[in-house]
Structure formats: structure tokens, C-alpha cells
Structure 1
Amino acid sequence: MSEPLIIRGGKIYSPEYVGKADILSFNKKVASIKRSIDENEVREVLGNPKVINAEGCLILPGIIDQHVHINGAGGEGGPLFRTAPIKSEDLLKTGITTVVGLLGTDGITRSLKDLLMKARQLSMEGITAYIYTGSYQIPSPTITGSVVSDIILINEVIGVKISLSDHRSSHPSKEELLRLASEARVGGILSGKAGVVHIHMGEESSGFTPILEITEETGIPITQFAPTHVNRSHSVLESSLEFGRRGGYLDVTTGVSKKSGFSKSVKPSEAVSFLIKSGIPVEKITMSSDGNGSMPEFDEGGNLLKVLVSPVDSMLS
């Protein structure tokens, strides 16, 4: 068992504002939140506590980041642009305690099995880690042979990743996307998981249309889909509004901004403000970092201009 820990005097959000209070943590769990915790009482029952003075600090729950390339990513521009696996301390320094790992453009030379083992490594180091099966490509790469069995049989797999409306995608037909969503839904139902279809959104004119048509024509709920990178450009952000107004979740990427070198992007905070002012409920807006990913920028002709690495600490920017 670990020693007791008292965190004194911080302003606590849980996630709503609680006020200024003390926190007692024991055996890696929050045991008590009180206006004032008596150090002597703790010592009598649990032993000598470690005390941290948090006066003037904000204390909030660990951040959930649903889009991190935990085992590295990249390759646009060649092998030189592949990024390395992430370290748990890079996540913890940013306050990220729960992470979902995934593959990106390269679902060919990168392995889902290796991604799974990286997630298990992070879990052993104190991070709650999950993964998506699949990648940009159709048919989706899997571990067990199918998306549905990956979700059912592998604890860490909570859904499937795909790319849509992007020149690097497989340009799946609506029928292929529907089939994938159906597999993810059944896998989620049978395993008690979300079975989410996590969608890398590109800038092609098809936009959100295939997803909207599927939700109109079938019984698959709009919340089965989780599109991300909606702030990659003003046009993508505007095209996401109908999806959000129908009750879908919209994910803003904190690692994408003009400050980071992405000339067409919308600043994450401005994107959130725009969505709220456009009638999207705040509880339907999420943010993720795309951390540790290779972030290429292309010109109008599809030529690679530059490649950046998205930092996970953008979640705090």
C-alpha cells in the first residue's frame, strides 16, 4: 500500500467547481474531500501522510484524450518522418490519465498487435489505456480477423478507426462504411462497450454526407460515430454543424492550429466557441490532442509541404 497523501488548499473541480478544500488520497484513490483534513487523524489511522501545498492551484480530474498515437505514427514524406512511441511521463505531465491509442495513415507497416502491447505497457505504468482497431484503410486491419471480434474479445479495444473524405483514405463507399459501423455496433453491444466508429475527417467535398445518410436510412444512432479534426479548416468546421445539431459528438483537435503551423485550421478555442454559438450543445463537444502524431500539410496539388509532430500538451494550451 502507498503512503497517504494530503493535498491542501487547492481550488477543486470535480468536474463542477467544488471550492477550496483538502484532498486525502490513499492506496492510489481519493479517500476524502473536505474543507480541512486533520493531519493527526490521518496519521493515527493510516500512517504518516505526505503533504502537498496546492494553494493557488487548480485541481481537476485527469484528462481523457481519445486520440493519441501512443506507438508512434507518420510516414508521409517517407520513413524519416515516422514518430517514436510516447512515454507515460509525457502524458502525465499534461494531466492525461486516460488515453485511446490508434493507427493513422500507415495501417500497412504498423501493427495493431504492437499498438495493443504499447497500451498494456502504459496501463502498467499507471495510465488507463484503450485502443481502436482499424486504421485509415478499408478493409480494416484487425487483430483477430474481424472488427466485431476485436471489440468483443480484446478488453482494450473499444471501437474502430477509419478515415473519411480524405485523399489518404480508401474512399469507402456508403455501404462499406455502413458495414463497418454495423460491426462496431454489434461488437459494442455484445461486449458492453461503446463500439464507436472514430473517424478521421478530411477536407474533401463529401464531408459528413455519408454518415448523415446512414443515420437517416438505418437504425444506427448518430452517437455511434465520433468524427475528429473538425477544426482542420473553416469548411470542415461549418460542414460539421448539421451532424452536431442532430445530436452527434464533434471532436476538436487541440494539436491543430495556425500557431502550430497549420495555415487553414481554426484555433481550438475559437472552434469550440463557434460550435456553441451555432447551437451545438456543449456536452456534445469533445477535445483531443492527436498527440504524438505526424501532422502533414499539403498544398492544393496534394504535394507535401511540411510535417510536424503534434504535442500532447496542446490539451492545456
Structure 2
Amino acid sequence: MSVCSEKRTPCRNTSHALLRKRRAYGLITGVVLLFLLVLASLALGSRTIALRETFNALQNYDPQNDLHLIVRELRIPRTLVAVLAGLALGVAGAIMQAITRNPLAEPGLLGVNAGAAVAVVTGMTLFGLTTMQHYVWFAFAGAGLAGITVFFLGQAHLSGTNPVRLVLAGAGLSIVLASVTGIIIVNSPLTVLDQVRHWSAGSVEGRGYDVVAILAIAVLIGVITAAALAGNLNAIVLGRDMGEALGVNIRLTWIIACCAVMLLAGAATAAAGPVGFAGLVAPHIARMMTGPNYRWVLPYSALFSAILLLGADVTGRIIVPPSEIAAGIIITLIGGPFFIFVVRKYRLNKL
């Protein structure tokens, strides 16, 4: 008879030790990779800057040096927006997968990004809004309304365990909202069309410190809210009945979680455009590294999603220099195959 069958405690201790080691290695690897990507983001672009000069721009800033200006005024805020937006999308995706018990849930697939996008484009066209300080509120409202619509169309409040119904509702609403967005853009003045063109592809190019400030505040509030819900999310993923048996207020948790998703996804979409799949991929990688405990899944999802979006932005700069490919397009190329992999893994073949 094996040691595990005779005495389960040593096996459980070994399993916990391996899990802790995997979490530690994953965290160290993720932080190091993010740090390297930050350096690459500051140094690489249409004009490559040596690392020595990059560090010099950070430590001994000379406003007369054009290389220092590029680093301080263009690449630092761009890098911060990519990291913060990725972090927000990762946490939002993890929350949505928990409350719907749906491995395919994420802001892009469930129409949240599309709702924020159509609201932002409407604000730009009808009200002449040009800065994030103004149209971010439209993004929050659009994300919230789209999310609520999908949840009720897919009956997620009654049957969140049915992933196909929810994905179909999100896909249908996303198509409708994308059509509305296209109609608005086509009938907009050329100035609005030019403004929306890069944003709608999911680009962080040209973002300034004003965008960083608003995004940072929204992300801070959203992440704190998500962290406070981590224990309840662990209960909800076990099922509605089990969650209630454990004393969790399901309705209140849903409301707070949806507000957090609206805040995170709305701010990220306003800052970086409708970026898809980042919130889908990151939580799955996080669970592979940490297990199902959402006290670990949430921070790891934030870390890996930030790596994904920043890595996509850096990759988009170096593929066809001096031109750029938007980060949202790069992530779609990665996320599409991953989406198919998840569908096959979970065998989502029943309506």
C-alpha cells in the first residue's frame, strides 16, 4: 500500500508544498518578465534608444535631449497605460469567469468591451468629446448596460453554469453593437474618424499622463473591490446552492462584482480601446499556476494580463518598423486559437 493510501497527511503536505513552490516560481517569473517588457517598451519603437540612454532619461532627465523627451513624455505613459489596462482586463475576466462559472467569460466575449466602445464613439461624435476625462464616463455606462443585457439575455442569474448560452448572448450583442459603432463612425466627420481609428483597434499609442491618472484611480478601486470579493468568489464557483449554504449573499456579490467589472473594463476600454481576449487568457494561465483559489487567481490574472497587453504592444512596434500594429490586433491573433483550445477542453457542446 502506498504512503498516500496509508497516511494522507504527508501527501497533502507534499501537494501543498508543490503548489506553494509553483506559485512562488510563477510570481517571480511573471514579475521578471514584466520588468523586462517595461524596459523593452521604454527602449523600443520607431526610434530605438539604448538602455544606457533610457536609464539616463529616467535618472538625469534633460528636457533639451529629444531621446529623453521620447522616453519621459511618450513611452512611460504608454507603458503605464498598457500595464494598467492589461491588469484591469485580467481581473475583470477572472471575476466574470467566477460569477458566471463560465470558462469562456471575459469582457470582450460577453459584450462589455463592445458596449463601452459604442458609448465612447457616441460621446466623441455627438458631444465632441476628445479626452478620456470626458468620455470615460460613457465607457462606464456602456460597459455596465452591455454586461447587464448579456447576463439577462443569457439568463446567467438563473443558469450561469451554461457557458454556451451566455457566450451566444454576448456574441450576438457584440455584433449588434459593433454594427452600431460602424454606422456612427461612417457618418462621423473626418476628425472623429481619425480619432477613433487607432483607438478602436486597441492601441495605447499617444496616451498621456492624464489618461494614466484616471485609469490608475479606476483600477485601484476595482482591484480593491475584487480583492474584497475573493472569498465569496471561491464559494460561488462551487455553485449557487453551495454558495448560499456557505453563507454567501449571492445577489449582493453579483451586484458588487458587476460594478467592479464595469469599472475595470470600462476604464481599460476608454484608455486602450476594445481589447479582446486578454481577460480570457490570463485567468486560465493563473489557475494553472495557482489552483482555483481566487485569492491567488485574481493577482496572477492581473500580472499575466498586464504581461500579455504590454508584450503585444512591444511586439506590434517591432514587427513592421517604423509602422506599428495595434496591441489589440496582436492579442486577437493569440487569443483566437486559445479560445478554440478552451472550447475543446471543456467540450462546450450542449445548449
Give me the TM-score of the superposition, normalised by structure 2.
0.23
Higher relative contact order (CA 8 A, sep 6+): 2
- The structure in which a higher percent of residues are strand is 1
- The structure in which a higher percent of residues are helix is 2
Give me the TM-score of the superposition, normalised by structure 1.
0.25
